[in-house]
Chain A
Amino acid sequence: MKKDIALFSSNRFYLLITVIGLVFYVGVYFVLPSQMDEKLSLAMYAPVVPPAFSQLTEHEGVDIKYFTDEESLKKAVLNGDYQVAIVLPPDIMDTWAAGGKPGISVYYASSAPLEMNAAIVALVKELSYAQTGQALNFETTEEILGPDMLGNQIALRDRMRPLLAVFILLVEILTLASLIAVEIEQGTARALLVTPLRVSDLFIAKGVLGIGLALGQSILFMELVGGFSYQPLIILITLIIGSVMVVGMGFLVASLARDVTAVTGWGMLVLILFAVPGFGAAIPGLISDWARVIPSYYLTDTVSRVANYGAGWGDIGTNLAVLAGFTAVVIWAGMATLRRRYQ
C-alpha cells in the first residue's frame, strides 16, 4: 500500500490536479446561486393604483416594486434590475368609469425570456378583468404532491451537491483503474506476485488506497459545502459504500481494459452513465424511473434526500440495501476478473 501511495503521490501532477479538481468542485458549488428566486419580480409605475392592482402585493408569486416616475422605471429595466415593468395611465379609473379602455404599457427587457412578457401581460389582463367585475370562479380540487416547499425552495447549488459529491467519487474509478493498468502494462503486478505477497493482499492494498482517495475527497467536499448538516452518519455511511463501489468498478474497468488509454475510454463511459442519476437530482423531472436501473441512482438519491430533504434511516434504508448489494457484487466481480488478469 505504501508503494501505491508513493506511486500516486510521486506524480506531483496527479496530486496537483486532484487538489485543483477538489477546489474546482467546491468553487462550482459556491459560484452557483445560494437562493431560489421563486417570485415574479416586477416594477410598476401607477399614479393611481386601482384596487385590484393594489392586491398584487398579496400574491404569493409576485414581488412588486412601485416607482415614482416612468423614466426611473425604464432605467431599472434597462439596468437589469427588473425584467418586466407595468405603467398604468393616471386616468385609468376615470376611463373605466366612462366605459372606455385605458392603455397599459408593459415594458420588458429584450434579454428577458419571452414567457416572462407573456406572463405579465396575462397578469395585467386578469387584474383588469377583476377590476371591472369580471373575475372568474373555478372550483378546483387541489392536491399537493410531495412536501410543499413554497417559500422554502432548494437552491440550485444544493440540488447540485449530490451530483458533485458523487462525481468526485466516480472520478476515482479512473484514477484507481489507471494505477492498476499501469502496473499490468509495465509488468510490475506480476513481479509483485513472485514475492510473498498474495493476490488478496494486493487487492486489499489497492482497495484501501482507492477507498481512501474517494472517501477522503468526498468527505472533505461535503464538509466544506455543508453536506453533513442533516444526518451526518447516513451521509458518511453512504459515501463509504459509494467509495467501495467505485473501487469495485475501478477493478472491473482495469480488468476489462488492455492499457491506460482503454481504461480512460471505458472509465469515461462508466463515469458518464453513473453520473446520469446525479443530473436527475439536480434537475427534477429530467429523468424518469428508468434511471433506477443505474446503480449510482441509489447513491445520488440517498445523498440528495438526506442532505436536501432531511430524510432519515427509514426513508433511505432500501436505497442503502440496494447500493450495498450492488457494491458487494461489483467488488466480487472486479476482484475475480482482475485476479485472472494478474495471473
Chain B
Amino acid sequence: MNLKRIWTLIRTEVFHGPKDVVLVMAVVIPVLLALFVNLAFGDIFTDRAKLGVYDTGDSPLTEKLVSSESMRVITYHNEADLKAATAGGAVDMGIVLPADFDTRLEANSVAFKVYIWGESQAKSREVISLALNDAVREMIGSVLPVNIESLPLGDKSSLPWSDRLLPLTVLMAVFFGGMMLPASSLIHEKQRRTLEALSVTPATISDIFTAKGVIGVVLAMIMGVLTLAISTSFGGSPLALVLVLALGAVLAAEIGLLAGAFIKDMNTLFAFWKFGGLLLFGPAFIFMFPQIPAWIGYIFPTYYVIKPVTDLSVLGVGFGSVAIYVAILIAIVIVVGLVVMNIIKRLSTQALRLNG
C-alpha cells in the first residue's frame, strides 16, 4: 500500500469520479430527512392533546392556555381556519372565545363555541377540558383546596419522537453515503472497465479499495455530523460522538467495499440496498418503539453505532456509559476490516476483470 498513490487515487476520484445520482442522494436525502424529522415530527407522534383557539377578543385566557403543559395550543385568526383544522385532525378540539369572554367570566356566565374532531381520543377531550378549567380558575383566582405533590418514580426518561427518529436519520446519513459511494464507484469502474486501465499502473487493488473507502468514510462522517447539527444533538461529549460516527463511517465503507467487490451491476446494488436496508436500519425501529424488546437490537451490527450515538447525543451521557458498545463496535469494524483485507488479497486484477 502506497500513501502517495492512494492520495492520487482519492484526488482523481473526487475531481474526476462520477457525480451521479448516488452522490446526490447521499448528500440530499439525509439532509432532507433530518430537516423533515425536526420540522414535522417534533410534535406529531406524541399523545399530547391539541387545542385550537380562535380568540375574537384579546382574552388573557389564550396566553394561559398556551402555557399549559398538558396540551399543545395552536391559535387561529378566524373561525373557518379553526373549524377546518379541527375537521382535519390538526387539533383535537377548537374553541371560539367570544369578544366579551372576560366580562362574562366576571359575571360567572361563561359561554363559548367548541368544535370537536370526531376522531379525537377520549383522554384528549378530558385533558383539554381539565386544562381549560384550570386556566379559567387561574384567571378568576380560585384558591386551590389541596396541596399537590408530584413525585417521579424510576430513572428512565421519556423521549419525544424527533429524538426517537434520530437513529434512523443518522443511520441513513452515515450508511447511505458511506456504503453506497464506494460500492457504486467500484461497480462503475468494473462496468466501464477502467479498473483494467488502472491495473497497468503501479496502483494495487489495495490502493484502489483504500482510496474509495476513505472517500466513503469522509462523506459518511460529514453527513453524520451535519445530520446531528440539524438535529442540534451533540450532547455533552461531542468528541466521543465524532469517534463513534467515525467508526460507523468506517463500518459503512467496509460494507460498501464488500458490496462493490461482489456485485456486478448497479441494479443488483440497489436490490442489495433494498434488502440490506432492513438489516441496517432494524435498530432504528427498536428506538422508535420502546415496546420492542431491546435485546433484538443486539443482533444488528448497526445497533452498536446507533446506541452510543443516541445515548451520547440525546441522553447526554458520558463516554464511560457507552464504552462497552464502542468496544464491540471496534471489534466489528476490525472483523469486517479483516474480511475486506482478505477479499482484497484474493481479488486479482484478472478476477475483477472477469467480474466486470
Contacts and interface: CB of A to CB of B under 8 A. Distances in A.
A145 B44 contact: no
A122 B131 contact: yes
Contact of A262 (B20, B70, B158, B292): B20
Contacts of A317: none
Interface stretch (B9-17, B122-130, B310-318): B122-130
Given A110-B152, A125-B148, A126-B130, A285 B266 contact: no
A104 B148 contact: yes
Given A111-B156, A140-B113, A117 B150 contact: yes
A151 B28 CA distance: 43
Contacts of B109: 139
Contact of A145 (B116, B155, B267): B116
A122 B22 CA distance: 53
B153 A108 contact: yes
Interface residues of B, number: 81
Given A112-B158, A153-B121, A288-B90, A119 B275 contact: no
Nearest to A13: B271
B100 interface: no
Contact of B88 (A14, A78, A288): A288
B89 interface: yes
A9 interface: no
Contact of B145 (A39, A96, A106, A266): A96
A16 B289 CA distance: 27
A62 B126 contact: yes
Chain B residues touching A, majority SS: mixed
B69 A114 contact: yes
A61 B125 contact: yes
Given A24-B278, A59-B126, A265 B25 contact: yes
Nearest to A74: B153
Contact of A115 (B22, B70, B133): B70
Contact of B110 (A124, A138, A265, A283): A138
A285 B136 CA distance: 27
Given A106-B148, A106-B150, A122-B127, A262 B21 contact: yes
A131 B131 CA distance: 18
A124 B47 CA distance: 20
Given A74-B153, A178-B270, A286-B44, A61 B158 contact: no
A19 to B, nearest CB: 10
B197 interface: no
A136 B152 contact: no
A223 interface: no
A104 B292 contact: no
A145 B271 contact: no
A171 B273 CA distance: 13
Given A111-B156, A129-B137, A260 B270 contact: yes
A310 B150 CA distance: 44
Of A14, A59, A114, A136, chain B has the most CB atoms within 10 Å of the CB of A136
A285 B90 contact: yes
B128 to A, nearest CB: 9
B119 A149 contact: yes
A151 B71 CA distance: 21
Nearest to B96: A141
Contact of A113 (B47, B89, B151, B270): B47
Given A121-B150, A284-B90, 6 more contacts: A40-B123, A62-B123, A106-B150, A119-B71, A131-B145, A261-B266
Q: Which 9 A-B pairs have the closest CB atoms?
A: A265-B21, A284-B89, A61-B126, A146-B118, A285-B90, A38-B121, A61-B122, A118-B69, A118-B70
18 contacts: A21-B274, A113-B47, A115-B47, A115-B49, A115-B127, A119-B130, A125-B130, A128-B146, A136-B136, A140-B111, A142-B116, A144-B118, A146-B119, A148-B116, A260-B270, A285-B85, A286-B40, A288-B90
Interface of B: 20-22, 24-25, 29, 40, 44-50, 68-71, 83, 85-91, 108-119, 121-127, 130-134, 136-137, 142, 144-158, 184, 265-268, 270-272, 274-275, 278, 289, 292
